[in-house]
Amino acid sequence: MDSVDVLIVGAGHGGAQAAIALRQGKFAGSIMMIGDEPELPYERPPLSKDYLSQAKSFDRILIRPAAFWAERHVEMRLGQPVIAVDAAAHRVTLADNSTVSYEHLIWATGGRPRKLPCPGGDLAGVHAIRTRADVDRLMGELSGAQRIAVIGGGYIGLEAAAVLAKMGKTVTVFEALDRVLARVAGEPLSRFYEAEHRAHGVDVCLNARIEAIEGDGDRPIGVRMAGGEIIPADIVIVGIGILPAIEPLRAAGAACSNGVDVDAQCHTSLPDIFAIGDCAAHASRFADGQTIRLESVQNANDQATVVARTILGEAVEYEAVPWFWSNQYDLKLQTVGLSSGHDEALLRGDPANRSFSVIYLKGGRVIALDCVNAVKDYVQGRALVVGRLSPDRAQLTDVNVPLKSLAA
Ligand SMILES: Cc1cc2nc3c(=O)[nH]c(=O)nc-3n(C[C@H](O)[C@H](O)[C@H](O)COP(=O)(O)OP(=O)(O)OC[C@H]3O[C@@H](n4cnc5c(N)ncnc54)[C@H](O)[C@@H]3O)c2cc1C
């Protein structure tokens, strides 16, 4: 049986950053990373952007080159999952029945794509976009396909739609709600992105009630709607969210809600076990103290750094302001703060100029900004979010008034 000082389960963004931050902090103990994907840690955001469009090869999206991990003595065990955790014995079991014992365990397993809960949802031509293998499989089918159905009008679905529309595919986005990005953004942003996609030839089907994916053998041929209409599709891409990959920890007795519950240092309820990234649920002051799970590179990296520093003996707490980005066509969206629960959405700038921001207020205080091709607003607006400031609305919406002048 192997024994290590720090065992990291999940070789993605959070896992990689935990190892990097430990070595940066001069941690001299042994580190092992176990990942169920066969690849070294790589960046996930390009999977629906530059990797899908083939603007970037896989080598260019590795978080660090192979030599980096070897030089820093981070042992990699890739290609198989941890299937059980024995918290009392400080030991995990892998799928091949081997075991590894640890002093500290960092659980960084992200999430698994939700499956389409309708007949035909498991046909071979129905794809998720979560891993390199998912996207390689999708790309392998693209040359023989023209009509693409994207189910889910969230960021990943819309990014994929943008790439595929630019490739000349006939793309339809199906969204169950009455606007795209409804769970993450305000109405002005949703309408703007809907219009952009339509302008690029993407059909956007809102309030979509999908009954089944029609197939011929194991290949999809169309999406059947509740009214019986069938919209032809050669490939179906499903982007309807993830479920946190936490079963071994839950089975070990960890307190779980919508993810593994963690405190301000990312401790779980089990001794010497931390959880970070997409799978961890934490109380956030940017969500009025509610327990939330964030799915962003920033959150995974910042929580990883907090855990590394905690292991190194520092007194730190996770309270980083959430931020996120999305690239679609020539639009760079940057988000700071969390807009859910806002009671006002102010428009700063004119969407017709393709450079504007939506400023979200709750009780008159700024809680988030969505900035489209408006990097200055994004950078300067951060202080408004962190301070939960309540500047004059007329000034907030006046593009001639720099946001930094309102944060003083
Ligand atoms: C297509 C796509 C586009 C995205 N775009 C953006 C973006 O533009 N901006 C942004 O901020 N965020 C984006 N995200 C989200 C971001 O990638 C995630 O928030 C981030 O990867 C979370 O890091 P993580 O370490 O928690 O999980 P991950 O990076 O998902 O890593 C978890 C790893 O653990 C593995 N694993 C799971 N269970 C086990 C187990 N039992 N044993 C061993 N290994 C296991 C998983 O297979 C995976 O390799 C995007 C995500 C996707 C999928």
- Tracing tokens 């207020």 back to the chain, one arrives at 361
In a mutational test of the pocket of ligand 1, which residue from 296, 318, 326 has the highest number of ligand atoms less than 8 Å from its CB? 296
How far is 99 from 1, CA to CA, in rounded Å? 6
For the record, the structure tokens of 166 come out as 């630019």
- The tokens for 374 are 């408006």
Q: Which helix (H) or strand (E) holds 345?
A: strand 344-350
Q: Say if CB 157 and CB 80 are below 8 A apart.
A: no
Task: For residue 327, report the phi and psi dihedrals to the nearest 5 degrees.
Answer: -110, 125
How would you label 31-48 residue by residue, b for 16+ Cβ within 10 Å and e otherwise?
bbbbbbbebbbbbbbbbb
pLDDT of residue 74: 98
Q: Using the atom order of ligand 1, give the atom closest to the CA of residue 294.
A: 19
For the beta sheet containing 331-337, the strands, ordered from the edge strand earlier in sequence to the opposite edge, are: 323-328, 331-337, 365-372, 355-362, 344-350
How would you write the pLDDT of the chain (408 residues) with one tens digit per residue? 799 999 999 999 999 999 999 999 999 999 999 999 999 999 999 999 999 999 999 999 999 999 999 999 999 999 999 999 999 999 999 999 999 999 999 999 999 999 999 999 999 999 999 999 999 999 999 999 999 999 999 999 999 999 999 999 999 999 999 999 998 999 999 999 999 999 999 999 999 999 999 999 999 999 999 999 999 999 999 999 999 999 999 999 999 999 999 999 999 999 999 999 999 999 999 999 999 999 999 999 999 999 999 999 999 999 999 999 999 999 999 999 999 999 999 999 999 999 999 999 999 999 999 999 999 999 999 999 999 999 999 999 999 999 999 997
| Cα 182-401-322 angle, rounded to 5 deg | 40
Q: Which residues line ligand 1 (CB under 6 A)?
A: 9-15, 34-37, 44-45, 47-48, 81-82, 108-110, 129-130, 156, 245, 248, 277-278, 295-298, 300, 324-326
Residue 274 sits at φ, ψ, to 5 deg, of: -105, 160
Task: Answer for the pair 261, 268: CB distance below 8 angstroms, yes or no.
Answer: yes
Cα angle for residues 32, 33, 37 (degrees, 5° grid):
150
Mutation choice for ligand 1 from 278, 305, 335, 370, CB with most ligand atoms inside 8 A: 278
**Shortest CA distance to 272 belongs to which of 87, 80, 30, 405?**
87
Q: In terms of Cα–Cα distance, which of 72, 79, 74 is closest to 132?
A: 79
Query: pTM here?
Result: 0.97
Neighbours of 28 (CB within 10 A): 8
Kindly report the protein residue whose alpha carbon is nearest to atom 18 of ligand 1: 296
Q: Is 200 left (phi over 0), alpha (psi -120 to 50) or beta?
A: alpha
Cβ proximity of 25 and 312 under 8 Å: yes
Q: Coil, helix or strand for 186?
A: coil
3-state secondary structure of 303: helix
258 C-alpha vs ligand 1 centroid, how far in Å? 16
Q: How far is the CA of 347 from the centre of ligand 1 (A)?
A: 32
Any idea of the CA torsion for 125, 128, 129, 134, to the nearest 10 degrees?
-60
- Whole-number Å distance between alpha carbons of 214 and 219: 8
For residue 76, how far is its CA from the centre of ligand 1 (angstroms)?
17
Q: Looking at residue 243, what is its pLDDT?
A: 98
Could you tell me where the DSSP H helices lie in 4-154? 13-24, 66-71, 132-142
Quote the ligand 1 centre to 399 CA distance (angstroms).
36
Question: Which residue from 138, 96, 120 is spatially nearest to 213, judged by alpha carbons?
Answer: 120
Q: Please name every residue paired with 31 in a beta bridge, in sequence order, or none if there are none.
A: 6, 74
Atom of ligand 1 nearest to the CA of 304: 25
Would you say 90 and 272 are in contact if contact means Cβ atoms under 8 Å apart? yes
